[in-house]
Amino acid sequence: MRIAALYDVHGNLDALDAVLAEIDRLRPDLILLGGDIALGPMPRQTLDRLIGRKDAVYIRGNADRELVEELDTVPDPGDLWAARGRWARDQLTPRHRAFLAHLPATAEYQIDPLGAILFCHGSPRSDEEIITRLTPESRLQEMFAGVAQPLVVCGHTHVQFDRQVAGKRLVNPGSVGMPYEGSPDARWALFGPAVELRRTPYDSSGAAARLPGDFPGAEEFARKYLLHPPTASEASEFFERMAERRGHGE
């Protein structure tokens, strides 16, 4: 069995289409969408491209959950991602929202010779917990308590890595739509019989030019995520600082 793992598409239809074209040539048994599928500039079109594919399975990301949750607070008007969330939510139909609302938090598959693999979004216990290539073993041991699978696949932090740590093999396929790798090429991974961290070029300049004019902060999104994304080191260090602040209750 071979599984193509696509994480953190974030409504980037151009990047998704490039990866799907490559996957259709490789013909894995399954495509696993690892969460944070729709929140981005083309949420409806991205879901329409994926829903109905007989070779696709899905797990939930924090952004997928947030798109269908009822808002119980007034969002900060200065929060650009909150504005993007409201915009994306308005683009979705009841069918799209029902699809996102019923996604499972994790999935498990057996792939020989890799063994049992647990796919999650943030960590095995939370769709928004932070794991990076720098996360210390002490924190990972807490997250992996009770996890039997020898290989854990996570996303959420948009940087590819393949680590042996805390008694597990830990893989992040990277992000299809918003990679933090110093270049805009889409990142994903192929599982079976080995683990392959893959990179797919696409026309990111064309994608930037096609951003909807009413997408909040379109110019900033194009510059920061499509044309000149942060490096893996910058992103990993940023996320680790965020995880440390959360750990101290800030």
Summarised one tens digit per residue, pLDDT across range 71-88 is 555 556 678 999 999 999
Please name which of 141, 118, 119, 139 lies closest in space to residue 130, comparing C-alpha atoms. Answer: 139
| Helices (H), ranges, 62-136 | 62-68, 80-91, 94-101
Give the C-alpha separation, 97 to 71, whole Å.
Answer: 14
3-state secondary structure of 159: coil
Q: What is the band of 22 on the pLDDT scale with cuts at 50, 70, 90?
A: very high
Q: Is the pLDDT assigned to residue 215 strictly greater than 50?
A: yes
Phi, psi for 244 (deg, rounded to 5): -65, -40
Please name which of 81, 56, 52, 50 lies closest in space to residue 67, comparing C-alpha atoms. Answer: 81
Determine how β-strand 115-119 pairs with β-strand 107-111: antiparallel
Taking the CB of residue 5, how many other CB atoms lie within 10 A of it?
26
Please name which of 128, 213, 120 lies closest in space to residue 171, comparing C-alpha atoms. Answer: 120
For residue 30, the model assigns a pLDDT of 98
Determine how β-strand 30-33 pairs with β-strand 56-58: parallel
Summarised one tens digit per residue, pLDDT across range 89-115 is 999 999 999 999 999 999 999 999 999
* Cβ pair 103, 180 in contact under 8 A: no
Q: What burial letters (b/e) apply to 107-146, b meaning 16+ CB within 10 Å?
A: bebebeebeebbbbbbbbeebebbbbbebeeebbeebbee
Average pLDDT of span 58-65: 97
Q: Is the pLDDT assigned to residue 250 strictly greater than 60?
A: no
For residue 74, the model assigns a pLDDT of 56
Mean pLDDT over each residue of the chain, to the nearest integer? 94
Please name which of 213, 235, 200 lies closest in space to residue 130, comparing C-alpha atoms. Answer: 235
Give the C-alpha separation, 191 to 197, whole Å.
Answer: 9
Angstrom CA distances, 19 to 60, 121, 176, stand at: 20, 19, 8
Q: Taking phi first (over 0 means left), then psi (-120 to 50 degrees means alpha), and beta for anything else, what does residue 208 get?
A: alpha
